[in-house]
Structure 1
Amino acid sequence: MSCENAITVSAVSKKFELYDNPSDQLKQFVFPRVGRFFGRHGRNYFREFWALSEVSLEVRKGESFGIVGRNGSGKSTLLQIIAGTLTPSSGSVETNGRLAALLELGSGFDPEFSGRENIYLNGALLGLQKSEIDERFDAIAGFADIGQHLDQPVKSYSSGMVVRLAVAVQTQVEPDILIVDEALAVGDALFQKRCFRRIEQLLDDGCSLLFVSHDQETVRTLTSRSIFLENGRVASYGRTSDVLFSYREYLQKVEESEFRELQRINNVASVKQTPAKSYGNLDVEIISVRVTDSAGVEQSTFYAGDDLHIRIECVAHVAAKNLNVAFRIRNKEGVKVTTWGTLNEDMPRNLEHDPDVFWLREFGSGESFTVCFSGPCSLSANLYEVQAVVALEYDRYYGNQRILHWIDEAAHFSVVLRNREYVFDGVCDMGLRSYVVE
């Protein structure tokens, strides 16, 4: 294992034996042994299921690394193997440093013990001496913030209190490697904020993070590299933004596969193929995305406060209505700054009396149209990416949609500040203005 790596996973596979009924498990235990005694090779009474197949990855020291994939893709199995609670069928895993894992929270607690006793029990399991736990005890208790319940049996705790105590123990022992598997999704908003602050502090101190979540925005924000697992295999591995694009593209293909089956049943033409960095069935296709000034001239740099226009040109390949043309802007750190679309403007409008409701417009096959979004550029100095989308919205409230065409990196632009005229810090200027209260 390289001394630069916190985790090295080499060609790990994991096989499970699936039995149709309990009696088959008993047969599997007895009959093969009897057969081998007589020199025979009997049949197996189970079906093989490979949860992981030849998975390899490396997490560098101090790196934050993400794992994404649908339920059943092998994410949790991989984490359990890395944490040492499962043994791989083949391959190897090496870790370098103290490892703390937020997997099945509270699974290591004794329900008859008090919270205080379980802190010492879990600390010992993590390799800490009693004196080390004594030093960290106040920090753990303060982070958990369960008050007088700390000296009550864990079996009397609510699920939220168990989560608080488990997270407090694992994050306050100053691990070299922290594994998080959707654990923070179960806490309340304030506790989640406290957890993310603690994770950021651990990362600043050189801790390596292995993070699993279905929340793609959190994965993008917290991690620099990621892996996408599909049916136990590595589908994509590399920079987080690229991996998340592959994952979204995969999810779209799954949805389109289901939709194509409906098309087949209803004898509708099959969907068109899409270019790289985009996905969708192209019933309505985005032809171009341009960022321009008010005169329609394409620009790559804007001063904060300038008028900015995002022009999305589309063509309908089939008759279409109930559309939403929208965009998303991210900064170079991958933070989603804003999203906006025609549906956002349609939501408060009166369907019967407002002629400008875009959602009600009907477009014929072959018809082209352009939607332009305009306003003052209130973004701070940075490099920005524009993502564009046209979607079929089955209602007017973002409740149910189908992506027709999505494009990543559809356009880019930079924002700079006039440092002697208009200066602010952060993500954007909220437009707040001061006044004196007499």
Structure 2
Amino acid sequence: MSCEVPILIKDLSKCYQIYDRPHHRLLQMIHRGHRQYYHEFWALKNLSMNVERGETVGIIGRNGAGKSTLLKMICGTLNPTKGTIKTNGRIAAILELGTGFNPEFTGRENVYLKASILGLKNKEIDDRFGSIADFAEIGDFIDQPVRTYSSGMLVRLAFAVSVNVDPEILIVDEALSVGDERFQRKCFSRIESIRNSGATILFVSHSGSTVIQLCDRAILLEDGAKLAEGMPKKIYGYYQKLLYAPDDKKDFVKLSIVADEPLPAVIESDQKGTEVNTQAPDRQQQDAENFNPDLVPTSTIEYESCGAVIYNPQILTLSGKIVNNLVRSKRYIYNYAVDFTEDVQNVRFGMLIKTKTGVELGGATSACSLHEMVEFIPAGTKYSVQFNFRCALNEGTYFLNAGVIGEISGVETVLHRLLDLAMFKVQPEPKRLTTAIIDFDCKPDFSILKN
């Protein structure tokens, strides 16, 4: 591989001309710049960064921050308005689904097309075709037109080509969210292998755990500008603060990030209004249990009510304080209310905790046998349901389900069920030794072996 720096970017900017009406574009051409019929949108603003050989860099930011625009300019599919980009090495990119594929060509023909664009000769493609087809796992569809592929098949083939051309620079733009878990793990394993070979990787993802696990460094973009860069865990924490900050506090949060000062730990609503907690970092960790009114799921799915209605979900401390920012290893109460609209028999309640990707981590029901169920509940009765649980989870964002099952006229049915009814965050701990999602309370110990 070349010893030159793979990616050098200086004062990079990209401006789009936005026309309110189609005919304004024609008028702009006619008047030749003497009158402006468009307004400017700067997708990137004076961005400078270098990526060293063998480094894996995560690019994170809210939707519209400029992440994809940056990657496209590095790949050469977009030209900058101002600034310079220099790349050294073979670039393989997985950007949008089907990028670089001709929909009328078969998968086999597209493999040769894309690999040749990446600089491989026919003999090299012949030698690698078997590995590409095996990795993609699309079977006989390899000889069918790409227009007949599902989105999952498209990304499988695109990824298979990109990782089998010995890239010196690999660029991945959120493409790994498509495909089943088994294939995703296969992709991540190959990325790790490419990284270990000394290649440079640029990785865009909204998954904090992925960025923290894979990347050596992370860059936070906001409104087309670089807001911060540094250790992935720290930068992802900044991203979360920005993501969940109320609109009237976002400018304050941005200034805190740029200044690399302690950020607002929580935005609490009370009778006096909205205030920002600016406690010192150590104190924040001790008193990290708090409630953020903006931490509300947007993915809630409600089953049809058949005799009961679930409402008012809350997470409480053992002393009764409402929270949704939790501390690892402490106990909490998940509480929700149920209004029964019909007479029901043999009732039991349930809860479930899931990750952002939908992995079911664990939960409980209120009864495992008939004699433990609530035998009869008449219509008009209201219940308060509580599940006392230990927060055995590491730093991250999690979601809660709630459900009620019972019998109506002797037939067991789901009376009501809500998915992603509530969400909570487990706060980071600077000196945490545990890894991954679940805290198994592992106790490390080691000693010198004697001969």
Which range, TM-score by smaller chain?
0.5 to 0.7
Q: Across the two proteins, how many residue pairs are aligned to each other? A: 343
Shift of 1:273: 3.0
Match of 1:342 in 2: 332
Deviation at 1:180, TM superposition (A): 0.2
Any idea what SS the aligned residue of 1:155 has?
helix
The separation in 2 between residues aligned to 1:29 and 1:257, in whole angstroms, is 42
Task: Spell out structure 1 runs of 4+ moving beyond 4 A.
Answer: 255-258, 263-268, 276-280, 343-347, 349-354, 356-359, 385-389, 391-398, 410-415, 418-421
1:111 aligns with 2:131: no
**Structure 1: 5+ residue stretches without partners:** 34-41, 289-313, 329-338, 360-372, 376-384, 422-438
Q: Tell me if structure 2 keeps the 8 A contact 1:32–1:43.
A: yes
Matched letter for residue 399 of structure 1:
L
1:149 equivalent in alignment to 2:133: no
- Name 2:125's counterpart in structure 1: 133
* Partner SS, residue 275 of structure 2: coil
Match runs of 1:10-409 below 5 Å? 10-32=10-32, 42-254=34-246, 257=249, 268-275=272-279, 285-286=287-288, 321-323=321-323, 326-328=326-328, 342-343=332-333, 347=351, 348=364, 399-401=421-423, 408-409=428-429
Deviations 1:190-247 (A, max 9, x none): 2111111111111111111100011111111110101000111111111111211111
Cα deviation, residue 322, structure 1:
3.8
Asked whether the 8 Å contact 1:12–1:88 carries over to 2, the reply is yes
Q: Distance in 2 between matches of 1:236 and 1:160?
A: 33
Q: Is the 8 A contact 2:112 2:125 kept in 1?
A: yes
Question: What secondary structure, in the 3-state scheme, does the structure 2 residue paired with 1:135 have?
Answer: helix
Offset from partner CA, 1:288-340 (integer Å, 9 cap, x none): 9xxxxxxxxxxxxxxxxxxxxxxxxx999xx9744356334xxxxxxxxxx77
Stretch moving more, 232-241 or 409-418: 409-418
Whole-Å Cα distance in 2 between the matches of residues 78 and 325 of structure 1?
33
Query: Could you list the per-position Cα deviations for residues 160-197 of structure 1 after superposition, in whole angstroms to 9, with x for gaps in the alignment?
Result: 22221111111111100000000110111121111111
Q: Determine the C-alpha separation between the residues in 2 that align with 1:278 and 1:19.
A: 51
Q: Is the 8 A contact 2:332 2:388 kept in 1?
A: yes
Give me the whole-angstrom Cα distance separating, in 2, the residues matched to 1:398 and 1:77.
Answer: 32
Aligned CA-pair RMSD: 4.2
Distance 1:349 1:190, change over 3 A: closer
Cα pair 1:7 1:60 within 8 Å, conserved: yes
Conserved? CA contact 2:331–2:388, under 8 Å = no
TM-score computed with the length of structure 2 as normaliser: 0.66
Letter in 1 for 2:30: V
Cα gap change, 1:98/1:69 in structure 2, threshold over 3 Å: closer, same or farther?
A: same
Distance 1:182 1:16 in 2: 23
Q: Distance in 1 between matches of 2:388 and 2:216?
A: 38
Would the aligned equivalents of 1:228 and 1:247 in 2 still touch at CA under 8 Å? yes
**TM-aligned CA deviation for residue 398 of structure 1:** 6.2
Q: State the percentage of identical aligned residues.
A: 39
